[in-house]
């Protein structure tokens, strides 16, 4: 039984794993760091942060190739992966088992959140000039409604969790961490990274509030 | 004397034939110290009368070695998959709930068909090729004590199937071979002679139902009665398959 090359399913699964970090995880980190500048007010946010992004070379290509397509593949293949889950959370009350479940559930939550989030910012901005020209004002208007703030907060925390936990299991999948001690240690490193990223994200959300 | 010191009570999920509906029956036997689940089931078998006073067909289960090395007696005991020979009655809450090992097809009562474990082992070539058209003229290969002690942990696998029944990715719905067979790939790939077939084993676990189906829930390592570092094996195989994929894609 010899295979000429690695199995395509294996490669797809590894591609799914890799895309979660590169570019999606890097993008999320950048995105939250960018938006944490909301605390400097509308002038800085619209004039510096958004203007810089909108002036980027090859912007539409970058948006599609670096963000949209990897996200769509990661989400689509992630849904396929999630169908294999038969979690028994009450029988096996171990932290990793809960994280395993939450990784899949958060993935579905993030997908729903992102459809709404991208829809009411990037897509809505395509035809509504006010969204495009004053994104800060638009976000302030959105986040001033408590339920919308709750939605964004949930989407943010789910995304950050999904990235941090995904990073820790990526260590096992790719063979960076093998011993139980290394896996635990790296798990704490990822948790620390997640907490830091969540703080930056929440800081950014609060910065939009009047 | 507390109630659980006077009798040993069982609640057993029974099933008459593959695919037939399951039902519960309760049994009680007089208390005796130092029983394990199997020795107590033998007492039930001598006089298979339920607590309702009904004489029923004796409970069927699988057993062999009685010293936790053969793996045949694994079942769900109070909701936990574990070998029944090493499940001591004095350490269990009563009534002791016995169910067949989950994820495997029930043959009858507590007896399940675990041939899927063997299929997995066959698929990953969990053996060392020593037969060939040559004479090696060499003694046993030397293994450092450090390597040997790490390998030894994996050689304790008795194919009981506890790790598989606790695995949320394994079951009739999936083709996943599960942690037990993966750990044997780790063991065989580390052997000085078994190493020659490393690429073949890695290709087997890089296929359908292989290592990619692991979701890192890590229940396997928590329930393994032999304390085999299954998740370490999976991490090491992650590394080996990464290297193998690089070789497959770029040569070398």
Portion 208-237 of B in contact with A at CB < 8 A: 208, 210-219, 221-223, 229, 231-232, 234-237
User: What average pLDDT does this structure show over A105-118?
Assistant: 98
B25: left (phi over 0), alpha (psi -120 to 50) or beta: beta
Q: Does B18 touch chain A (CB under 8 A)?
A: no
* Structural contact between residues B185 and B178, judged by C-beta atoms closer than 8 angstroms: no
Residue that wins the pLDDT comparison between B5 and B3:
B5
Q: What pLDDT is attached to residue B165?
A: 97
**Measured distance CA(B153)–CA(B157) in Å, rounded:** 8
Portion 73-132 of B in contact with A at CB < 8 A: 79-80
Q: DSSP letter at B69?
A: S
pLDDT at A3 over 60: no
Q: Does A93 touch chain B (CB under 8 A)?
A: no
pLDDT at B48 over 60: yes
Given CATH 3.10.20.30, say whether it is the number of domain B3-112. yes
Q: Chain B residue closest to A168 (CA)?
A: B216
Q: What pLDDT is attached to residue B134?
A: 63
Taking only the tens place, the pLDDT of each residue in A24-53 is 999 999 999 999 999 999 999 999 999 999
Rounded percentage of chain A residues whose pLDDT exceeds 70: 97
What confidence category does residue B142 fall into, taking pLDDT thresholds of 50, 70 and 90?
A: confident
The overall average pLDDT reported for chain A is 95
Q: Hey, CA dihedral for A125, A130, A132, A134, is it positive or negative? A: negative
Q: Does A92 touch chain B (CB under 8 A)?
A: yes
Taking only the tens place, the pLDDT of each residue in B70-126 is 999 999 999 999 999 999 999 999 999 999 999 999 999 999 999 999 999 999 999
**Measured distance CA(A20)–CA(A161) in Å, rounded:** 12
User: Which structure tokens are listed for B172?
Assistant: 């009739």
| Local structure of A192: helix, strand or coil | helix
| Local structure of B64: helix, strand or coil | coil
Taking only the tens place, the pLDDT of each residue in A43-85 is 999 999 999 999 999 999 999 999 999 999 999 999 999 999 9
Chain A residues whose CB is inside 8 A of the B212 CB are 9-10, 13-14
Taking only the tens place, the pLDDT of each residue in A173-207 is 999 999 999 999 999 999 999 999 999 999 999 99
User: What average pLDDT does this structure show over A97-117?
Assistant: 98
* Structural contact between residues B204 and B194, judged by C-beta atoms closer than 8 angstroms: no
User: Which structure tokens are listed for A52?
Assistant: 């810089």
User: What average pLDDT does this structure show over B138-151?
Assistant: 85
Q: CA-CA distances (angstroms) from residue B241 to A70, B107, B197, B244?
A: 23, 36, 14, 5
Exposure string for A109-134, b = 16+ CB within 10 A, e = fewer: bbbebeeebeebeeeebeeeeebbeb
What H or E segment, with its residue span, contains residue B106? strand B106-108
Radius of gyration of chain B (CA): 21
pLDDT at B202 over 50: yes
- Of B192, B70, B178, B161, the C-alpha closest to B124 is B178
Q: What pLDDT is attached to residue B140?
A: 67
Q: What pLDDT is attached to residue B147?
A: 94
Give me the domains of chain A, ranges plus CATH numbers: 8-208 (1.20.1300.10)
**Measured distance CA(A75)–CA(A20) in Å, rounded:** 9
**Measured distance CA(B10)–CA(A25) in Å, rounded:** 52
* Structural contact between residues B76 and B98, judged by C-beta atoms closer than 8 angstroms: yes
The overall average pLDDT reported for chain B is 94
Q: What pLDDT is attached to residue B193?
A: 85
Chain A residues whose CB is inside 8 A of the B198 CB are none
Portion 108-137 of A in contact with B at CB < 8 A: none
Cβ-nearest to A85 among B214, B215, B236: B215
Q: Does A102 touch chain B (CB under 8 A)?
A: no
pLDDT at A4 over 50: no
Query: What is the total residue count of chain A?
Result: 210
* Structural contact between residues A66 and A30, judged by C-beta atoms closer than 8 angstroms: no
**Measured distance CA(B150)–CA(B154) in Å, rounded:** 8
Q: What pLDDT is attached to residue A9?
A: 86
Note whether B200 contacts A84, CB cutoff 8 Å: no
Residue written as token pair 């959370």: A89
Exposure string for B74-103, b = 16+ CB within 10 A, e = fewer: bbbbeebbbbbbebebeebebbbbbbbbbb
Q: What pLDDT is attached to residue A7?
A: 73
Chain A residues whose CB is inside 8 A of the B244 CB are 6
Phi and psi at A148, nearest 5°, equal -70, -40
CATH topology of domain B115-130+143-250: Fumarate Reductase Iron-sulfur Protein; Chain B, domain 2 (1.10.1060)
Q: Does A97 touch chain B (CB under 8 A)?
A: yes
Residue ranges of domains in chain B: 3-112, 115-130+143-250
Q: What pLDDT is attached to residue B136?
A: 63
Q: What pLDDT is attached to residue A6?
A: 57
pLDDT at B1 over 60: no
Cβ-nearest to B210 among A10, A97, A175: A10
């Amino acid at each position: 039984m010899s295979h000429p090359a690695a199995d395509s399913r294996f490669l797809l699964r590894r591609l799914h794993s890799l895309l979660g970090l590169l570019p999606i995880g890097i993008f999320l980190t950048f995105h939250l760091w960018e938006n944490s500048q909301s605390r400097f007010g509308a002038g800085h946010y619209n004039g510096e942060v958004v203007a810089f992004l909108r002036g980027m070379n090859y912007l539409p290509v970058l948006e599609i190739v670096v963000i949209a397509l990897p996200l769509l593949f990661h989400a689509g293949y992630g849904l396929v992966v999630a169908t294999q889950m038969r979690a028994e959370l009450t029988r096996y009350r171990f932290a990793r088992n809960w994280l395993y479940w939450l990784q899949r559930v958060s993935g579905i939550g993030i997908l729903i959140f992102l459809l709404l989030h991208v829809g009411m910012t990037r897509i809505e901005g395509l035809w509504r000039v006010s969204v495009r020209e004053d994104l800060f004002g638009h976000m302030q208007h959105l986040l001033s409604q408590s339920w919308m703030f709750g939605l964004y907060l949930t989407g943010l925390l789910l995304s950050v969790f999904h990235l941090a936990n995904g990073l820790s299991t990526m260590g096992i999948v790719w063979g960076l961490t093998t011993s139980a001690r290394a896996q635990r240690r790296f798990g704490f490193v990822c948790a620390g990274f997640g907490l830091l990223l969540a703080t930056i994200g929440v800081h950014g959300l609060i910065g939009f509030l009047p | 004397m507390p109630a659980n010191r006077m009798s040993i009570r069982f609640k057993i999920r029974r099933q008459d034939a593959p695919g037939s509906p399951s039902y519960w029956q309760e049994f009680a036997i007089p208390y005796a110290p130092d029983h394990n689940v199997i020795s107590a089931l033998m007492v039930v078998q001598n006089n298979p009368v339920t607590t309702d006073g009904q004489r029923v067909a004796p409970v069927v289960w699988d057993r062999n070695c009685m010293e936790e090395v053969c793996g045949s007696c694994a079942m769900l005991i109070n909701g936990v998959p574990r070998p029944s020979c090493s499940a001591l009655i004095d350490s269990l809450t009563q009534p002791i709930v016995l169910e067949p090992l989950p994820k495997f097809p029930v043959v009858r009562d507590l007896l399940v068909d675990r041939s899927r474990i063997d299929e997995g082992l066959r698929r990953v070539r969990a053996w060392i090729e020593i037969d060939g058209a040559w004479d090696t003229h060499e003694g046993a290969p030397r293994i450092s004590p450090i390597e040997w002690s790490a390998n030894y942990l994996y050689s304790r696998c008795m194919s009981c199937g506890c790790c598989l029944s606790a695995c949320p990715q394994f079951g009739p719905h999936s083709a996943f071979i599960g942690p037990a067979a993966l750990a044997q790939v780790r063991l065989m790939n580390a052997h000085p002679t078994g190493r020659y077939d490393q690429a073949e084993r890695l290709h087997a676990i890089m296929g359908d139902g292989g290592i990619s189906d692991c979701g890192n829930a890590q229940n396997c390592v928590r329930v393994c009665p032999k304390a085999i570092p299954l998740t370490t094996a999976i991490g090491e195989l992650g590394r080996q398959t990464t290297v193998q994929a690089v070789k497959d894609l770029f040569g070398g």
